[in-house]
Amino acid sequence: MAVLAPEVRSAAPRWLIRHETLLAAILVVALAILGLFNERFLTIDNLLNQGRLMTEVGLLALPMTFIIITGGIDLSVGSIVGLCAIMLGYSWKNLGFPLPLAIAFAIGVGGVAGFVNGLLITRVRVPPLIMTIATLALYRGLAEGISQARSVRNYPEWFFFTGQGEWLGVPVQLWILLVGIIVAGIALDRTTFGRTLYAIGNNETAARFSGLPVDRAKLVVYTLSGLAAGLSAWVLVSRVTTTRSDMGSGYELDVIAAVVLGGTSIFGGVGTIWGTVVGLVMIQLLKNGLALTGVKGDATIMVIGAVLIVSTLIASSLHGRREVAG
């Protein structure tokens, strides 16, 4: 993460440093406390395992950070995961694609789904919120309709490597996520693309008047979001060995929670991958830690909801900007 540290200074207002260090501090304290409650919590074994479970949401959180920085939002990610999972199984089982091709195809479908979001958002200027609520329903519907909610099973053994295998003692998908984080982090911090995203989020008109490719950048981030969803669908299917159309439903909550908790301003223009990662880890370990200390699943959902609201509150109060509600 040290690699990404500088961006905190360069790309975002000062308060963010405070916000993220603050967050990291809270994280450490929370872990310590949860660790006291259950000695099995702070074990390499458990943490790696949590990393495994965190990957699907993590992959989505990276492009979501981009999107929210541009002042947009993507509520359809969960549904795209479902759609991609179905396309993977469907194209393999029903269309007889060889499995590697099916995987590529599924990821491709994700890209297209995201691209469609981006296209209508940039060309027709449909507000991202409404656009992605619509596709939240549409893509889930297509997943259910195409699969008729039939699940696909009996994948070959090698297919499970991504989701269940390990490499150098670390879950395979965690490596994927790690690469994703570094790439996204550098892209956001060091490249003209990342700079463009911040510019758009802070002042879209000025960005346009500076000759920055505003629409293209937006198109790219929504497409990336779709591709990530495809990737995450692959990992998910490989982990749970079965394809079902309800996969990924509700992910949008976890993803947005992680990003916002990580200090990315829902109003756009501010945020870092580093923050998102902290937020991500925080939520995952919070869930896990609570479960281990005997808090039931339903109560955990409540905690996450509360965390989402409160963190936004903190972020926007630390963050000077004042927007009209909604």
Partner 1 sequence: MSAIVVSRLRPGEGGALRLFASQEALLAFAIIGIAILVGFYNPRFLATRNLADIVLGNAYISVAAIGMSMVIVSGNIDISVGSLIGVLATISGSLAVAGVPIILVWLTPLVVGILVMMLQGAVIAYLRIPAIVVTLGMLSILKGGLISVTGGRWITDLPQSFHLADIELFGILPMPVLIMVAATILAALWMRYSASGRAIYATGGNAEAARLCGVSPQRTVVMVFALHGLFAGIAALLFATQLKVIQSTVPPNLELTVITAAVVGGVSILGGIGTVVGSTLAAVLIAEIASALVFINVSPYWIHAVQGALILVTVVADILRRRRRQVGG
Partner 2 sequence: MSAARNAPIREGGPAAPLLAVAGIEKSFPGVRALSGVSFEVAPGEVHALLGENGAGKSTLIKIISGVYQPDAGTIHVDGRPLRLDSPDDARRAGIATIYQELLLFRDLTVAENVFMGHAPRARGGRLDWKAMAAKTEALLATLEIADLAPSRVVGSLSVGNRQRVEILRALSQDARLLIMDEPTAALTEYDVTRLFDIVRRLKSRGVGIIYISHRMDEIFQLADRVTVLRDGAQVGTRRVVETSSAELVQMMVGRQIESLFPKVAAAVGAPVLEVRDLVRRPMTRSISLTVRAGEILGLAGLVGSGRSELAQTIFGVTPAESGRILVSGESVQIRSPGRARALGIAYVPEDRATQGLVRPMNVRENFSLASLARVARFGFIDPAAETRLAETGVTRFRVRTGSLDQVVGRLSGGNQQKIVLGKWLANRPKLLILDEPTRGIDVGAKAEIHRLMSELAAQGLAILMISSELPEVLGMSDRVLVMREGRLVAEFSRAAATAEAVGAAMMGSQGADAGRAA
Partner 3 sequence: MKQSMKHRMVKTAALVILGVAMAGGSAVAADKWDGGDDLPTSPLACDAGPAAAAAAKPYDGGQTTGAPNKAGKPITLVDVPKLIGIGYFNATSKGMRDAAKEIGNVKVTTDGPTEAKIDEQIKFIDNYITRGVDGILFAANDPVAIAPVLKKALSKGIHVVGYDANSQPDARQWFVNQAQFNGIAKAMVDAMAKEAGEDKGFAIVTSTFTTPNQARWIAEMSTYAAKCHPKLKWLETVEAQEDNVLSFNQATTLINKYGDKLSGLFGMTSVATPASAEAVTKAGQCGKLAVVGLATPNAMKPYVNGGCVKSVVLWNPVDLGYAATHVIRAVVDGKLKPGATSVDAGKLGKLNVINGSEILLGSPFIFTKDNIKDFDF
Contact residues for partner 1, defined by CB under 8 A: 73, 75, 120, 124-127, 129-131, 133-142, 144-145, 147-149, 245, 252-253, 256-257, 260, 266-267, 296, 298-306, 308-309, 312-313, 316, 322-326
CA distances from 326 to 112, 171, 266, 307 (A): 29, 41, 11, 20
CA distance 74 to 256: 9
Q: Which does 282 bind (CB under 5 to 8 A by kind): partner 3, partner 1, partner 2, none?
A: none
Please tell me the distance from the alpha carbon of residue 48 to that of residue 189, in angstroms, as a whole number. 27
Under 8 Å between Cβ of 86 and 261: no
Tokens 């927007």, located at residue: 323
Which helix (DSSP H) or strand (DSSP E) does residue 20 occupy?
Answer: helix 14-37
For residues 144 and 215, which CB has a smaller minimum distance to partner 2 in the complex? Answer: 215
291 binds, among partner 2, partner 1, partner 3, none (CB under 5 to 8 A by kind): partner 3
Of 79, 202, 232, 288, the one binding partner 3 by CB under 8 A: 288
User: 125's torsion region: left (phi>0), alpha (psi -120 to 50) or beta?
Assistant: left
Name the binder of 195 from partner 3, partner 1, partner 2, none, CB < 5-8 A by kind: partner 2
The span of 103-111, 200-208, 221-229, 238-246 binding partner 3 (CB under 8 A) equals: 238-246
Note whether 206 binds partner 2 by CB under 8 A.
Answer: yes
What is the Cα–Cα distance from 24 to 281, expressed in whole angstroms? 10
Confirm or reject binding of residue 301 to partner 3 (CB under 8 A). yes
Verify binding: residue 117, partner 2, rule CB under 8 A: no
Contacts of 167 (CB under 8 A, 6+ apart): 175
How far is it, in rounded angstroms, from Cα 313 to Cα 261?
10
Query: What string marks each residue from 41 to 80 as x (binds partner 2 by CB under 8 A) or -?
Result: ----------------------------------------
| Residue 5 binds partner 2 (CB under 8 A) | no
Candidate ranges 86-94, 100-108, 233-241, 255-263; the one touching partner 3 (CB under 8 A): 233-241
Per DSSP, 122 falls in state: I
CB of 130 to partner 2, least distance (A): 17
Q: What is the Cα–Cα distance from 64 to 207, expressed in whole angstroms?
A: 20
What is the spatial distance between Cα 233 and Cα 227, in angstroms, rounded to a whole number? 10
Amino acid at 256: I
Q: Which does 213 bind (CB under 5 to 8 A by kind): partner 3, partner 1, partner 2, none?
A: partner 2
Dist CA 55 CA 203 (whole Å): 33
Please answer whether residues 78 and 132 qualify as being in contact, where contact means their C-beta atoms are separated by less than 8 angstroms: no
The interface region with partner 3, picked from 95-103, 165-173, 194-202, 296-304 by CB under 8 A, is 296-304
We find the least distance from the C-beta atom of residue 298 to partner 3, in angstroms, to be 6
Which residue in the set 138, 175, 213, 293 belongs to the binding site for partner 2 (CB under 8 A)? 213
109 close to 90: Cβ distance less than 8 angstroms: no
Binding site for partner 3 (CB under 8 A): 38, 40-41, 43, 45-46, 49, 53, 120, 123-124, 138, 141-142, 145-146, 148-151, 153-154, 160, 164, 236, 239-242, 244, 246-247, 249, 288, 291-292, 294, 296-298, 301
